[in-house]
Structures are given as structure tokens and as C-alpha cells.
Amino acid sequence: MADVVTPDVRSRMMSGIRSTGTKPEMILRRGLHQAGFRYRLHARNLPGRPDLVFPRYHAVIFAHGCFWHGHDCHLFKWPSTRPEFWQTKIARNRTVDARSEAALEEQGWRIGIVWECAVKGRFREPQDRVIASCAQWLRSGQNNLEIRGAA
């Protein structure tokens, strides 16, 4: 199936998609700050540039978009146009994610992942529950956290 918009329009649409300041990230930032947690944003010196870095707890949180990271949920659907490009792109994103997580673990960081479907979409969790889970995990000292939609 051919693309329904011109390449220029598609380019403009794609350039509007941001990697920082996304809705899931902002929900986490506001909620955790309100709960008393202080953090750094997008630390360039850490592998994968985590969205939220909590040096006091030696923990990081990634707010992953379900489409861009190929999450197996209702928000992810393979595009019908240029399937080879998208399969390669998303596979590379997953590889980079795995590599970044391994490097962070090697450095002793605890890793939390909050998927977009946990705060957005049909099967989202209540925002206060997501924030409470993150806060509990930060205080607990457990190594990993993954929050996804309730499907």
C-alpha cells in the first residue's frame, strides 16, 4: 500500500515526534517530583541516556514508547508501508536498548522501564498506581522494574 501523504508531509510529521518530553515521561516526572524524588534528565554520560536518573538511589527509569521500542501490546502495530525499513529500525532500537541496559547493569545501576501502554491507551493503569510502583521500587533496592499496561 502506498503512503497517503507526500514525502515532504511525512518528513514534517516524523520530525514532530520528540524523544524527550513525551506524555509518558512527563507523567512520571511530575508524579515522582511531587512524591519527593529528585532526578537528573537524560544524562549524556550514561548508556542509553535514561529519561530519569536517580543518583541517590543509583537507579534509572526509561519511559519507552511502545511503537519505537517494539512492545508487544495493543499500541504497537507494524506499519504496512516500507515494512523492511521498520523491521530493521525497530530491531535496531531493541538491540540498542539491550546493549544500554547491559552496560548500565555492569556499572551497577538499577533499571526501571515504564511502557507507554502503562499510562496511555485502553489498558492503562491509574497514574497514581504507576507512580506509587516506581516510588516503591526506588526505595526497595530491587534491581529491575517493568510496568506495562494491564492487558
Could you give the percent of the chain with pLDDT greater than 90?
70
Domain 19-147 CATH assignment equals 3.40.960.10: yes
What mean pLDDT, rounded, does the chain reach? 90
Tens-digit pLDDT profile for residues 30-46: 999 999 999 999 999 99
Q: Which amino acid is at 141?
A: G
pLDDT at 66: 92
Beta bridge partners of 54: 59
Phi-psi region of 141 (alpha: psi -120 to 50; beta: other; left: phi over 0): left
Q: How confident is the model at residue 79 (pLDDT cuts 50, 70, 90)?
A: confident
Mean pLDDT to the nearest integer, 48-54: 95
Residue 128 CA to residue 14 CA, distance in Å, equals 31
